[in-house]
Amino acid sequence: MLVPNFTARFSNRMFKQPGSVARYLMPFVTVGWALGLQVAVSQFIPRTVDFPYAFFYLFAILATAWFGGYVPGVASVVVGMIALPLVAPPDFHLTSIDPSRLVFSLGFSVLISLVAQSQRKMRGVLEQADTLLDLTIAEPGLTNAELDDPVLMATAELAKVVDDLRLEVAQYAHIEDELRQSGERVDMALDAAGIGVWGVNLATGELKRSRRHDAIFGYDASDSCARLFDRVIPEDLAAVKRSFQNAVETRGACEFECRIRHPQDGIRWIWAKGKAVVDETGEARSFLGSSRDITAPKSAEEELNTRLARLNVEERTATHNALPQAYDDLSHTQQTGMRRDLQALGQMTEATPPPLRILSVDDDPVLTKCLCEALEADGHAVVTALGGQNGIDAFRKAEKSGQPFEVVITDLGMPNVDGREVASAIKADSPSTPVILLTGWGQDLAAEGDIPPHVDRVLNKPPRLWELRAALAHLAGRSVTTSVAAHEEGAVAAEQAS
């Protein structure tokens, strides 16, 4: 008799719900019990050992939800999973706030409370039926009508409880089916996008892979023990491992592109991205990620770069081939204009300067060459310099060698060192050396009185040959018998006659 009585008492206590005050105090009592048990156990277990303290709080939630009901059960989850981690010291082993674990604990609490309530209802119906049976045995004189009404009521309540349980089971089955379908849709979407999913256990190195990941890397059923970086080629392996290890150490994420050696397709480019998953202690225990084959876009990118490089070479070649033609056209135009000037002005022997040693400074190689050829045709010795600083250096070098220049012709607009600075440097080294400044704004400079102080003559660019000869003759010390006005009239007459 002791065993049945003990079982009955234990069963009654298991399904009996305490009063309101005791129910709402239960979350604090059970969580406090779990906290005390954790403190006691942590005194004997080193902190480096990953002991499952979370089970203490899970048991506290279970007890509170079973005996207290819905609200106390949820309260125990809030106290154990949110309040305690916020107030606990940093060095104390306590479950950290994890949204996924919090949602699971809330669902677990509600489910336990629902089961407990259903069991209490069913037990109440059974107890009522037992009472009626005892009453029938004790009072056999009761009529069938007196017995039928309580039995029918108990049967109806029992049927209602059974219907409620069936509805809950159907709801759980529906939720499970929706979760399964949702997982299948996610798998289909990832497969359609060509994205594989993988996860690696950082403690054991075990790799779990999706079918798409296996197809990307060329794994089959015999590669069950394959590691994450087995197929990465040696040239990319160090950088990939460094990115992965940094994400593990910082509990963060990593993203990289690398080449792998596919068993059938050879070298392939893949993209991978992953993130470390931490436990309640903040330690990284696993790593989840995704991968995708990017060989096609990589090949297209390389082909595009190759075509762009080839196009740049072709453009440079075309420009290089067109430059001599452009120079010939410009030279022909300038020489034609010079010949036209000579025809209009006649033989100006008195205005022709003697042979001079001339330095020509300009940043345009085509115009420099045209001017050099025209001056050399008049018997002058011409040295050219591309850019202002090169012109200054050439002048000073000639001074030191004992072969100074008698005239310097310089362009005004040049990068870094312009014509003004060239003229200033020439006059500083040799004040008697004449400087002729070529510019497209020659008339504007003269009209505005903005002629640089170190310049002896300003000519329009490109200069007319007779103007340049007259300037050189004048600066070389010979007089010019024909006036500039007469020259201009002759040039206009020659142009009209042509």
Confidence of residue 392 (pLDDT cuts 50, 70, 90): very high
Query: Looking at residue 479, what is its pLDDT?
Result: 36
* Rounded to 5°, angle at Cα 48 from 43 and 50: 90
Checking DSSP bridges between strand 266-278 and strand 253-262, what pairing results, if any?
antiparallel
Residues above pLDDT 70, as percent of the chain: 71
Q: Considering only 103-112, 253-262, 348-357, 397-406, which range has the smallest mean pLDDT? A: 348-357
**Run of H or E including 21:** helix 20-42
Tokens of 261: 């050696």
Residue 19's pLDDT band, with cuts at 50, 70 and 90, is confident
Q: Find the mean pLDDT for residues 234-247.
A: 90
Q: Which fold does the domain 194-293 belong to in CATH?
A: Beta-Lactamase (3.30.450)
Q: Summarize the confidence of residues 491-497 as an average pLDDT.
A: 49
pLDDT tens digits, 117-134: 887 777 777 777 666 666
- Output the six-digit token pair for 159: 């049927």
Mind listing the pLDDT tens digit for each residue in 52-105? 777 787 888 888 888 888 888 888 888 877 777 777 776 665 556 667 777 888
Looking at this protein, which amino acid is placed at residue 77?
V
DSSP label of 193:
T
- The token pair at 156 is 């109806």
3-state class (DSSP) for residue 220: coil
**Annotated domain spans of the chain:** 13-177, 194-293, 334-497
Percent with pLDDT over 90 in the chain: 11
25-29, 99-103, 247-251, 385-389 — which is least confidently predicted?
A: 99-103
Place of tokens 């049976």: 133
Per the model's pLDDT, the better-predicted residue between 371 and 334 turns out to be 371
Residues 399-414 as b/e (b if ≥16 CB within 10 A, e otherwise) read eeeeebbbbbbbbbeb
Q: Which residues contact 189 (CB under 8 A, 6 or more apart)?
A: none
Compute the distance between CA of residue 449 and CA of residue 445 in angstroms, rounded to an integer.
6
Dihedral, CA atoms, 137, 138, 140, 142, nearest 10 degrees?
Answer: -110
Residue 474 pLDDT greater than 50, yes or no:
yes
| H-helix segments, 193-223 | 211-217
- pLDDT tier, 3 (very low <50, low <70, confident <90, very high otherwise): very low
Mean pLDDT of 311-330: 63
CATH of 334-497, one of 3.30.70.860, 3.40.50.2300, 2.60.40.10, 3.20.20.70: 3.40.50.2300
- pLDDT winner (highest mean) among 45-59, 98-112, 130-144: 98-112
Q: Give the span between the Cα atoms of 252 and 190, in whole angstroms.
A: 23
pLDDT bin (cut points 50, 70, 90) of residue 350 is very low
Q: What is the pLDDT of the chain when averaged over all its residues?
A: 76
pLDDT at position 345 is 46
Looking up tokens 């309540």 gives: 157
Is residue 376 within 8 A of residue 384, CB to CB? The reply is no
| pLDDT of the residue at 408 | 94
Work out the burial of residue 120: count CB atoms within 10 Å of its CB; fewer than 13 is exposed, 13-18 middle, 19 or more buried.
middle
Burial of 338 (0-12, 13-18, 19+ CB in 10 A): buried
Instruction: Note the pLDDT of residue 150.
Output: 67
pLDDT at 338 over 80: no
User: Residue range 291-314: average pLDDT?
Assistant: 82
Where is average pLDDT lowest: 153-167, 310-324, 421-435? Answer: 310-324
Average pLDDT, integer, range 262-281: 88
Q: Extract the tokens encoding 136.
A: 């029938």
Strand partners, 427: none
Q: Where are the alpha helices (DSSP H) in 285-418?
A: 295-345, 365-377, 388-401
Q: Is 83 helix (H, G, I), strand (E, B) or coil?
A: helix
